[in-house]
């Protein structure tokens, strides 16, 4: 069985921190909605209950954060000589010889976490990749090697003949 040349895990802080912030904002809106309803109905509840509501929303945010961590901690990319395998929600194999173009981009949040998205045209987008520049250049070299005629000749056992033809 062939071992991967490189294993790349997704950047967990890039995934978890924005999700936690969104959940805290939604929890704040939930609290605000409950408070406004009680205010409109002229129902006054003790401050102790407000603390319970806030604590309950906080517990829900923490539980969702733990579930997201368990979910995304096993997502990874395995780089082989001729393919990249994405192990995530659905496993996907991307043949390097099928890749036509490689590009990468960053948005505002990616700049904060030093991550980015690498596009493997036409098949796949690698999101939440740390050190995007290094991985981008590594992928370019892998694709270049996978699509080179010397590698194809080497795989077919004709590398020596190919090399001699190139030298002449």
- Assigned token pair, 7: 């294993």
Q: Give the C-alpha separation, 33 to 111, whole Å.
A: 34
pLDDT (tens digit per residue) in 40-69: 999 888 889 889 988 998 899 899 999 999
Q: Give the C-alpha separation, 53 to 165, whole Å.
A: 77
Instruction: Please write down the HEC assignment for all residues of 14-62.
Output: HHHHHHHHHHHHHHHHHHHHHHHHHHHCCCCCCHHHHHHHHHHHHHHHH
pLDDT (tens digit per residue) in 63-119: 999 999 999 999 999 999 889 999 988 999 999 888 889 999 999 999 999 999 999
From 1, 155, 4, select the one nearest 93 (Cα to Cα): 4
- Model confidence at 148, pLDDT cuts 50, 70, 90, reads confident
Q: Give the C-alpha separation, 114 to 119, whole Å.
A: 17
């Amino acid at each position: 069985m062939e071992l991967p040349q490189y294993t790349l895990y997704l950047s967990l802080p890039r995934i978890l921190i924005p999700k936690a912030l969104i959940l805290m904002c939604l929890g704040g809106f939930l609290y605000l909605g409950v408070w406004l309803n009680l205010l409109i109905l002229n129902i006054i509840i003790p401050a102790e209950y407000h603390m319970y509501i806030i604590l309950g929303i906080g517990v829900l945010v923490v539980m969702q954060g733990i579930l997201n961590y368990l979910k995304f901690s096993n997502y990874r990319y395995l780089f082989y000589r001729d393919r990249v395998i994405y192990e995530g929600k659905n496993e996907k194999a991307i043949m390097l010889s099928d890749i036509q173009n490689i590009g990468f981009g960053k948005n505002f949040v990616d700049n904060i976490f030093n991550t980015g998205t690498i596009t493997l045209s036409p098949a796949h987008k690698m999101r939440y990749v740390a050190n995007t520049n290094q991985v981008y250049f590594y992928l370019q070299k892998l694709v270049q090697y996978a699509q080179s005629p010397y590698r194809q000749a080497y795989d077919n056992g004709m590398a020596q003949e190919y090399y001699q033809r190139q030298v002449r």
